[in-house]
Amino acid sequence: MHQVSRESSNRGFVLVKREDDGRRTCQTLLGCTGRHVWWRWADQPEGPLEACPVPELFR
């Protein structure tokens, strides 16, 4: 992945159902220098970034 700047790339939040525990949970959206869209669970701020499966919705 490209470099993600924490300050400049936050695109907000989106509520999605988490398959692991079946709960509706916020994902934090992040953009990178290559204009990809990434997200991570808002309740796991140090967790891994995953590629957003529907980036066209958030550009």
As measured in angstroms, the least distance from the Cβ of 6 to Zn ion is 15
Q: Per the structure block, which two tokens stand in for 55? A: 């980036």
Residue with Cβ nearer Zn ion (26 or 36) = 36
Indicate whether 11 belongs to the interface with Zn ion (CB under 5 A).
no
Q: Residue from 34, 45, 48, 53 that binds Zn ion (CB under 5 A)?
A: 34
Strand pairing report for 10-17 and 24-31: antiparallel
Task: Enter the DSSP assignment of 56.
Answer: G
Beta bridge partners of 12: 29
Q: Residue from 9, 14, 25, 36 that binds Zn ion (CB under 5 A)?
A: 36
